[in-house]
């Protein structure tokens, strides 16, 4: 039986919440619904796959079994019963002692217990991959502007991690063999780290580009001049063209966020001008504006 990645079908990570799964399912179900794709066999196939994925992942119990046993999740109860029986046998004869493993490892083990492949002795010496672990790392946006190292403690183990500049909120990276220990000489599991990045800056991030707005006084907007603005790394002086309209957007090339794992490459910074009208005008200022009004 071939393994089907239901998370991939719905386009969500393994850490997706119930709400994330429901949202993804509704979007894809509408996209591939037969009523909207009459006669489209590919859309019909996709629609069935999306429904199957949702049936498994939207059910907490089924999802737990699927995450642990992969394509053999429907046999989870049989496996647990067999594992309990195994644990009551002498230690040297036990084929399994707990933890996680890959889909291939589990299939082999499941077959060894229910399908009878190989001798009892060879089955008892079968190697299994350790359990994959999940962790979340919370950072501020400024923390990921430059690459840096951190020491994480995951399940009591300290792990040295280099965090590349430009990592995105919700991004998941895999650290090979930093998960649970393997069994019978099998490899360790992997560690999956999800980044949760808080933005407490005045800049909005969109992939590698940054966006912000600045106030521009009426006189500079009309006559032109210079303006000092903040970028993510410091202040820069801008030349303002005469008769700059309200909401005009300019681009500062290379002043955005670093591109993930592409050293020396940066996105752009987009600045929107908001023209601030003067208030509390003096009588003299009012007279001057009246003269301007007559001239226009």
Q: What does the pLDDT look like over 244-275, one tens digit per residue? A: 999 999 999 999 999 999 999 999 999 999 99
- 99 pLDDT exceeds 90? no
Whether 185 and 157 map to the same domain: the answer is: yes
Q: Do the domain assignments include residue 20?
A: yes
Q: Do the domain assignments include residue 259?
A: yes
Q: Do the domain assignments include residue 1?
A: no
- 106 pLDDT exceeds 70? no
Exposed, middle or buried, 206 (CB in 10 Å: 0-12/13-18/19+)? exposed
pLDDT-derived band of residue 82, with 50, 70 and 90 as boundaries? low
Whether 72 and 51 map to the same domain: the answer is: yes
Average pLDDT over residues 155-174: 90
Predicted pLDDT of residue 207: 93
For the chain, give percent helix, strand, coil, nearest 5.
Answer: 40, 25, 35
CA atoms of 251 and 157, how far apart (whole Å): 45
Predicted pLDDT of residue 283: 93
Whether 91 and 22 map to the same domain: the answer is: yes
Whether 256 and 178 map to the same domain: the answer is: no
Whether 167 and 108 map to the same domain: the answer is: no
Contacts 24+ apart (CB under 8 A), 150-157: 152/193, 154/178, 154/191, 155/180
Average pLDDT over residues 112-118: 47
Q: Which of 19-28, 102-111, 155-164 has the highest mean pLDDT?
A: 19-28
Residue with more model confidence, 100 or 287? 287
Predicted pLDDT of residue 85: 55
**Mean per-residue pLDDT over the chain, rounded:** 83
Q: Which of 93-97, 104-108, 273-277, 288-292 has the highest mean pLDDT?
A: 273-277
Give Cα separations from 65 to 59, 141, 160, 254 (angstroms): 10, 36, 31, 47
DSSP state, residue 278: P
- 202 pLDDT exceeds 90? yes
Predicted pLDDT of residue 80: 67
Domain stop point among 166, 182, 198: 198
Number of domains present in the structure of the chain: 3
Predicted pLDDT of residue 94: 38
Domain stop point among 80, 102, 124: 124
Query: Domain of 147?
Result: 133-198
Q: Do the domain assignments include residue 101?
A: yes
Whether 129 and 185 have beta carbons less than 8 Å apart is answered as no
pLDDT-derived band of residue 81, with 50, 70 and 90 as boundaries? low
Q: Which of 10-24, 59-73, 104-118, 153-167 has the highest mean pLDDT?
A: 10-24
Exposed, middle or buried, 11 (CB in 10 Å: 0-12/13-18/19+)? middle
In percent, the amount of the chain with pLDDT more than 70 equals 82
Predicted pLDDT of residue 259: 96
Whether 113 and 165 map to the same domain: the answer is: no
Predicted pLDDT of residue 125: 59
Residue with more model confidence, 236 or 70? 236
Predicted pLDDT of residue 52: 87
Domain stop point among 96, 124, 152: 124
Predicted pLDDT of residue 169: 93
Query: The CATH number of the domain where 217 resides is what?
Result: 2.60.260.20
Whether 174 and 211 map to the same domain: the answer is: no
Whether 173 and 238 map to the same domain: the answer is: no
pLDDT-derived band of residue 39, with 50, 70 and 90 as boundaries? confident
Whether 160 and 56 map to the same domain: the answer is: no
Beta strands in the chain (DSSP E): 133-140, 148-154, 157-163, 172-175, 191-198, 204-206, 209-217, 225-231, 234-240, 249-252, 269-276
Residue with more model confidence, 126 or 88? 126
CA atoms within a 13 Å half-sphere pointing along the CA-CB vector of 184? 21
Q: How far is CA 58 from the centre of its chain?
A: 20
Q: Which tokens go with 97? A: 């002692």
Query: The CATH number of the domain where 45 resides is what?
Result: 1.10.287.110
Whether 178 and 233 map to the same domain: the answer is: no
pLDDT digits (tens, 9 = 90+) for 209-242: 999 999 999 999 999 999 999 999 999 999 999 9
Q: Which tokens go with 125? A: 């010496």
């Amino acid at each position: 039986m071939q393994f089907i990645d239901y998370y991939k079908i719905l386009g969500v990570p393994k850490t997706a919440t119930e709400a994330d799964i429901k949202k993804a399912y509704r979007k894809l179900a509408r996209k591939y619904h037969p009523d909207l794709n009459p006669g489209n066999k590919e859309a019909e196939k996709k629609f069935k796959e999306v429904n199957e994925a949702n049936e498994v992942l939207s059910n907490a119990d089924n999802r737990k079994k699927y995450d642990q046993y992969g394509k053999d999740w429907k046999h989870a109860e049989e496996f647990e019963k067999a594992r309990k029986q195994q644990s009551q046998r002498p230690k040297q004869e036990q084929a399994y002692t707990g933890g996680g493993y890959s889909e291939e490892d589990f299939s082999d083990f499941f077959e060894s217990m229910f399908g009878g492949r190989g001798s009892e002795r060879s089955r008892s010496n079968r190697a299994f991959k350790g359990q994959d672990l999940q962790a979340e790392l919370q950072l501020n946006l400024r923390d990921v502007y430059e690459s840096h190292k951190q020491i994480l403690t995951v399940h009591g183990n300290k792990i040295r991690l280099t965090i590349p500049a430009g990592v995105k909120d919700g991004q998941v990276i895999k650290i090979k063999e930093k998960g649970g220990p393997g069994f019978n000489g099998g490899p360790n599991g992997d560690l999956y780290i999800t980044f949760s990045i808080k933005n407490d800056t005045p800049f909005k991030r969109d992939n590698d580009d940054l966006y912000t707005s600045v106030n521009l006084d009426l006189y500079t907007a009309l006559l032109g001049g210079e303006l000092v603005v903040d970028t993510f790394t410091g202040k820069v002086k801008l030349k303002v063209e005469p008769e700059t309209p309200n909401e005009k957007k300019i681009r500062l090339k290379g002043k955005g966020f670093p591109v993930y794992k592409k050293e020396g490459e940066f996105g752009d910074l987009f600045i929107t001008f908001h023209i601030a009208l003067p208030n509390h005008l003096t009588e003299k200022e009012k007279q001057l504006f009246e003269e301007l009004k007559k001239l226009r």
